[in-house]
C-alpha cells in the first residue's frame, strides 16, 4: 500500500557520486525524509554502488533501495561495454557532442524507476543530481528533458491521474562543480566517501577520465583538498 503523499518525503537518485551526494544533502536541508535509490546497472565503475551504500549510511537515509537493471545486455556505451573510456580530454573537447560514456536512455530509465518508487512511498519530489554545465554533452541532463519526463509521469501514472504526480527537482542544474563542492562542504556532506571515476584502477580513481578531470578541476577551483586517491596524480 502506498504511503500517504507528503512534501516531506523525497526520493533521491543516489549514485554514490559527488553530485548526487550533495543533492541528497540539499534534500535533507530542505527538511525532507529522504528515500535513497541507487541503480546497479552493470556499470564499469560498479564501486559506486558500494560508495552509495556508505554515503547513505553516513547521511542516515530513511531507507536505501538498490535496484539491479542489467544495461550491459544492451551495451552502446563505454560504461556498459568494451568501448574505451576517453582519457585526458580538454574541456573544449569534452563539450563537443555526446561522449561515448553516455549510456542510452540511462536517466530516462533511472527516473522511471524513481517515479515508481515515489508512487509506492508517497513521495512528492524526486531529487535528481543532473548538471548541464559540466555534462553538457548528455542530452538526458537538460531541463527540457526533465520537464518532458514530468509530463510523461503526469500522463501515465496513477499519481498523475489523481493530480499528485511527483515533481523532479534538480538543484544542481546550473551550478559549477566548484559551487557544488562548496555547497557540499557547507552542508557537511561526506564528500570523502564519494566516487566519480568512470574507469577505476582497483581501489584508485584513474585520474584521467572526463569525470575525474572535472572533479579535480572543481576541487581546485573551490579551494578545497580533493580526498580522492588517484592512480595518476
**Assigned domain for 150 exists:** yes
Domain that holds residue 78: 6-222
Q: Which domain CATH number covers 112? A: 3.40.50.620
**Assigned domain for 129 exists:** yes
- Our count of domains for the chain comes to 1
Residue found under cell 540539499 = 26
pTM here?
0.93
pLDDT digits (tens, 9 = 90+) for 144-155: 999 999 999 999
Helix/strand/coil for 180: helix
**Assigned domain for 232 exists:** no
Taking the C-alpha atoms of residue 41 and residue 43, their distance in angstroms, rounded to an integer, is: 5
pLDDT digits (tens, 9 = 90+) for 123-138: 999 999 999 876 557 8
**Assigned domain for 229 exists:** no
**Assigned domain for 233 exists:** no
Give mean pLDDT, residues 185-201.
97
pLDDT at 1: 32
Taking the C-alpha atoms of residue 186 and residue 226, their distance in angstroms, rounded to an integer, is: 15
pLDDT at 179: 97
**Assigned domain for 94 exists:** yes
**Assigned domain for 87 exists:** yes
- pLDDT at 87 > cutoff 80: yes
pLDDT at 97: 85
pLDDT at 136: 57
- pLDDT at 2 > cutoff 90: no
Amino acid at each position: 500500500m502506498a504511503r500517504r503523499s507528503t512534501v516531506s518525503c523525497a526520493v533521491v537518485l543516489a549514485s554514490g557520486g559527488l553530485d548526487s551526494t550533495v543533492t541528497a544533502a540539499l534534500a535533507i536541508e530542505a527538511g525532507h525524509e529522504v528515500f535513497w535509490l541507487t541503480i546497479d546497472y552493470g556499470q564499469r565503475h560498479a564501486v559506486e554502488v558500494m560508495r552509495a551504500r556508505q554515503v547513505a549510511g553516513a547521511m542516515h537515509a530513511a531507507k536505501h533501495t538498490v535496484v539491479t537493471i542489467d544495461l550491459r545486455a544492451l551495451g552502446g556505451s563505454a560504461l556498459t561495454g568494451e568501448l574505451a573510456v576517453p582519457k585526458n580530454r580538454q574541456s573544449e573537447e569534452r563539450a563537443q557532442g555526446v561522449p561515448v560514456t553516455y549510456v542510452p536512455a540511462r536517466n530516462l530509465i533511472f527516473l522511471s524507476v524513481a517515479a515508481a518508487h515515489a508512487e509506492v512511498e508517497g513521495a512528492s519530489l524526486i531529487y535528481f543530481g543532473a548538471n548541464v554545465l559540466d555534462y553538457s554533452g548528455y542530452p538526458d541532463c537538460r531541463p527540457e528533458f526533465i520537464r518532458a519526463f514530468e509530463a510523461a509521469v503526469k500522463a501515465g501514472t496513477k499519481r498523475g491521474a489523481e493530480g499528485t504526480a511527483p515533481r523532479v527537482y534538480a538543484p544542481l542544474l546550473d551550478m559549477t562543480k566548484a559551487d557544488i563542492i562548496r555547497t557540499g562542504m557547507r552542508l557537511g556532506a561526506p564528500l570523502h566517501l564519494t566516487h566519480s571515476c568512470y574507469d577505476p584502477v582497483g581501489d584508485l580513481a584513474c585520474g584521467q577520465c572526463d569525470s575525474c578531470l572535472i572533479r579535480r578541476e572543481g576541487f581546485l577551483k573551490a579551494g578545497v583538498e580533493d580526498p580522492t586517491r588517484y592512480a595518476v596524480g
